[in-house]
């Protein structure tokens, strides 16, 4: 098995043009049980979030992921901007920009990858449409539970301001996403185990240390 991939082995091309993204607004809803990150093993530690039983594996979807294996020797990847990635997911969900800022959006599930199928909370709680295009069911649910205490303007600025990288060209595949350590520490209560594992995969390819739940909490 080959070793981790160095920075020089990754070619990054950022899209110059991105589709127009839709804006949302905040609604009030209570916060609950945001203390333990589900799905992490003992080495990754356990102090963060609520489990989401709506998260499904991409193994059952015909849509292709471009994530390489751990023994990949060379990566030739395009890094999408977050706005481009979220806009692509919005197009997949057929969410038009004229959707009201607060709504319950329930698209047909027939052609959706498991990561974008609405959770029970999405089907019952009115929310900004940008929530629907995040490819992490657990993160979406945690965000919905926290709307009453979130400064939505600050969140959207951070979300679209370079806090995320989306490797490859499959933005609905959560394993392609990487969150910055700064964002994870600031918005720790939104981070779930699935996003943290995906992030740590990409960090290991650059020989960077993994981020644990304890690391995130220590930065709060």
**Average pLDDT score over the chain:** 71
Which residues, in sequence order, are CB contacts of 154 under 8 Å at separation 6+?
none
pLDDT at residue 164 greater than cutoff 80: yes
Q: Quick one: pLDDT band at residue 184, thresholds 50, 70, 90?
A: very high
Model confidence, pTM: 0.66
What are the boundaries of each domain within the chain?
Answer: 28-60+69-94+108-218
Distance from C-alpha of 137 to C-alpha of 107, rounded to nearest angstrom: 15
* Closest by CA position to 172, among listed 84, 105, 97, 96: 84
Q: Quick one: pLDDT band at residue 51, thresholds 50, 70, 90?
A: very low
Distance from C-alpha of 34 to C-alpha of 41, rounded to nearest angstrom: 18
| Residue pLDDT, tens place only, 125-156 | 999 888 999 999 999 999 999 999 999 899 98
Mean pLDDT of 79-85: 82
Q: Which position has the higher pLDDT, 110 or 23?
A: 110
Residue 98 is predicted with a pLDDT of: 64
Residue 59 is predicted with a pLDDT of: 35
Pairing of strands 10-11, 75-76: parallel
């Amino acid at each position: 098995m080959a070793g981790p991939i160095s920075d020089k082995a990754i070619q990054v091309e950022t899209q110059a043009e991105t589709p127009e993204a839709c804006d949302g607004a905040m609604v009030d809803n209570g916060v609950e049980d945001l203390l333990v990150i589900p799905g992490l093993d003992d080495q990754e530690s356990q102090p963060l979030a609520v489990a989401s039983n709506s998260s499904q594996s991409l193994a059952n979807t015909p849509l292709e992921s471009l994530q390489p294996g751990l023994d990949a020797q060379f990566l030739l990847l395009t890094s999408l901007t977050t706005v481009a990635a979220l806009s692509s997911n919005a197009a997949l969900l057929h969410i038009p920009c004229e959707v009201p800022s607060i709504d319950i959006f329930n698209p047909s599930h027939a052609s959706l990858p498991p990561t974008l199928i609405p959770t029970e909370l999405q089907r019952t709680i009115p929310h900004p449409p940008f929530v629907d295009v995040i490819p992490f069911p657990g993160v979406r649910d945690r965000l919905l539970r926290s709307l009453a205490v979130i400064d939505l303007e600050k969140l959207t600025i951070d979300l679209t301001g370079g806090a995320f990288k989306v490797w490859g060209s499959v933005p609905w595949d959560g394993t392609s996403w990487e969150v910055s350590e700064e964002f994870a520490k600031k918005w720790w209560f939104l981070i779930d185990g699935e996003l943290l594992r995906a992030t740590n995969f990409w960090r290991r390819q650059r020989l960077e240390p993994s981020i644990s739940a304890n690391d995130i909490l220590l930065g709060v």
